[in-house]
Structure 1
Amino acid sequence: MSVVRVGSRKSELALVQTNKVIDLLKFHYPEKIFEVVTYDTLGDKFNSLPLPKIGEKSLFTKELELALQRREVDLVVHSLKDLPSSLPKNLRIGAICKRDDPHDCVLYHPKFGSNVTPTSLNSLPNNSTVGSSSIRRISQLKQLYPQLIFLDIRGNVNTRLKKLCECDKYDAIILAKAGVDRMGWQDRIGQILNGDEFFYAVGQGALAVEIRSDDDATGGLVSIINDRETELCCLAERALMLHLQGGCSTPIGVKWHSQGRQSAVLEAACFSVEDNQRVTYRATVAMHTREDAEKLGQYIAQKMLEAGADTLLRAARGILATGGQNMQ
């Protein structure tokens, strides 16, 4: 394998992330040539529609996975939060890179100016508009900031920033901080949503390398960039999501609290999209194996279901089935 073909989405952020993974691999394999092959995903092609209205799963991964199955590429790079918790049987995650900041952040309209930029969403005038394409984010923000109006916004991060800056529809938008950091836009961040109240997406901040299950050569190649701590954390989160039968378009969030090398706390929440209801559960565990991580995720998910999370999720799925009209 002197040449390694790497599949990626075409957006600038996707290519930045793909090249970040390639740089990690080049450090260990300077003799190899890494060729990037780009694809448009369904989520990219229909980037003017709210995600629930597209009505498909694997919106940002399917075309890449098909290319991998057709052996057009040897591996593909994903934002782990976009990768469904259940993969095709002949594919697997070969590596999860060390996680960057998993929190969400707020970018404000430049009309506020450097001297009057809001210090938080709470300092925006009543009925200010905030853009996000995430039902998880909007469900939480509606509970925390009921005085604001939340609108759907689609497109890659470049498109969203352009919409914020060049029109008056949005006073602020919410993005994943890891993506903003990777694009070099740190100076645009007005607020980081990292308080005790706000939960981020499963897998957010981590990059994943997906490979064919039977490709031991590529598996051995990419395993060297796998970060064990990130892997175990994300496996627990993904097991939780799978047990709740959730996805990227469901109001489920997580938070990790490290307690040294021996243990960590995983806290998860499911939110109502219509009122202030939420179901949360947290557990502390020492994770040494993949099985430990998956059992933790399943355990917390089961406790949440017993506390009524299934009712909130059914209601969310009903709203999503109608295109999410009631999300504002």
Structure 2
Amino acid sequence: MILKQLRIGTRASQLALWQANWVKSMLEERYPGMAVELVKIKTIGDKILDVPLAQVGGKGLFVKEIEEAMLRGEIDIAVHSMKDVPTEFPEGLGLVCITEREDPRDAVISRGVKFADLPQGARIGTSALRRQAQLLKVRPDLEMIIVRGNVETRIRKLETENLDAVILAAAGLKRLGFTAQVTEYLPVELSLPAIGQGALGIECRLDDEKVRETIAFFNHPDTAHAVRAERALLWRCEGGCQVPIAAHGLVNGETLTLTGFIASVDGSQTVKDMMSGPVADCEKLGIALAEKLLRNGGHEILSEVYQREVSREKEIPV
């Protein structure tokens, strides 16, 4: 039975609205006559723009209020950037679709200078500790500047903050039409993507069979297997989206290859490894790789990172 209407919960940022509108257009194309409504919801991550996300607490900053609206029955589904989605959900809610992944790489926007050619001590704008750690590992001379805000705001900070470059997710730049401003796409060997980067997730109430059936066509099996492996690694490391943990899965036929990375914030201590296995065991693979990383130094690195962030949180007035 086709639903007559569907309400999509979304953040109000330019990128979030692009993503929600894309889902809306796909639903309307598949189900002519369905009334699809966007419900804009402001999250705590949208409200606090003057503090680095890692100091606010990285888990659920961009989804909590949306999930609360879903539990109240005010929306039917939520569209998220997968890299923002916590590994655990409120009771009764769950991730039921993961869309085909857009370009997962990080991108450099500068004044035409590639990353390797940036001057000594260059000022680099980024919102992610993951990027900061990986790039400092290669270029410890760089000065990392935390930049917040939507995609357009962060690009403008190249000028307003006198930065030499800003680094953002390629997927968002491509979706919003900013590819002409990209100087270089960083290879994943240099900057391993965030967990789920480039993919969208659709969340709903798990007991709503009609909604689940309606949106099932969005799920892309290869992307879903890769992202589930990445998220299993993150879950096993007890990490949020704002800790220096990265993972990237690639599916080739029935084989999934997963690369994982854990680092200190300054990139001075890192551990990186890779494992392969059947796609059907994607989550087991993620957990197994996480345990290998933790055994080989990751546990000590993360213990120090978490202790540092707890200390910083105490300094922030509530």
Shorter-chain TM range is: over 0.9
The Cα shift of 1:168 comes to: 4.1
8 Å contact 2:108–2:185 — kept in the other structure?
Answer: yes
Letter in 2 for 1:144: V
Instruction: Supply the distance in 2 between the matched residues of 1:216 and 1:255 (Cα, whole angstroms).
Output: 31
Q: Which residue of 2 aligns with 1:158?
A: 152
The Cα shift of 1:202 comes to: 0.4
Q: Which residue of 2 aligns with 1:313?
A: 302
Deviations 1:182-224 (A, max 9, x none): 0100001111111423211000000010001111111111111
Q: Which residue of 2 aligns with 1:266?
A: 258
Instruction: Supply the distance in 2 between the matched residues of 1:126 and 1:13 (Cα, whole angstroms).
Output: 33
| 4+ aligned runs moved over 6 Å, structure 1 | none
TM alignment of 1:204-219, pairs within 5 A: 204-219=197-212
The Cα shift of 1:264 comes to: 2.5
Q: Which residue of 2 aligns with 1:132?
A: 126
Cα 1:2–1:89 change in 2 (3 A) is same
Q: Which residue of 1 aligns with 2:71?
A: 69
Matched, 1:232 2:230: no
Q: Which residue of 1 aligns with 2:173?
A: 180
Instruction: Supply the distance in 2 between the matched residues of 1:57 and 1:227 (Cα, whole angstroms).
Output: 25
Q: Which residue of 2 aligns with 1:294?
A: 283
Instruction: Supply the distance in 2 between the matched residues of 1:129 and 1:301 (Cα, whole angstroms).
Output: 32
Instruction: Supply the distance in 1 between the matched residues of 2:241 and 2:179 (Cα, whole angstroms).
Output: 25
8 Å contact 1:47–1:154 — kept in the other structure?
Answer: yes
Q: Which residue of 1 aligns with 2:101?
A: 99
Give the unaligned 5+ runs of structure 1: none
The Cα shift of 1:280 comes to: 1.7
8 Å contact 1:48–1:155 — kept in the other structure?
Answer: no
Matched, 1:276 2:265: no
Q: Select 2:184's aligned residue among 188, 191, 202.
A: 191
Q: Which residue of 2 aligns with 1:11?
A: 13
TM-score (normalizing by structure 2): 0.94
Letter in 2 for 1:71: G
Instruction: Supply the distance in 2 between the matched residues of 1:263 and 1:55 (Cα, whole angstroms).
Output: 35
Q: Which residue of 2 aligns with 1:25?
A: 27
Deviations 1:268-308 (A, max 9, x none): 010122352211221111213xxx11111111111112112
SS at match of 1:174: strand
Cα 1:54–1:172 change in 2 (3 A) is same
Give the unaligned 5+ runs of structure 2: 314-318
The Cα shift of 1:34 comes to: 0.5
The alignment covers a number of residue pairs equal to 311
Cα 1:212–1:306 change in 2 (3 A) is same
Q: Which residue of 1 aligns with 2:138?
A: 144
RMSD between aligned alpha carbons?
Answer: 1.5
8 Å contact 1:50–1:323 — kept in the other structure?
Answer: no
The Cα shift of 1:24 comes to: 2.0
SS at match of 2:307: helix
TM alignment of 1:78-89, pairs within 5 A: 78-89=80-91
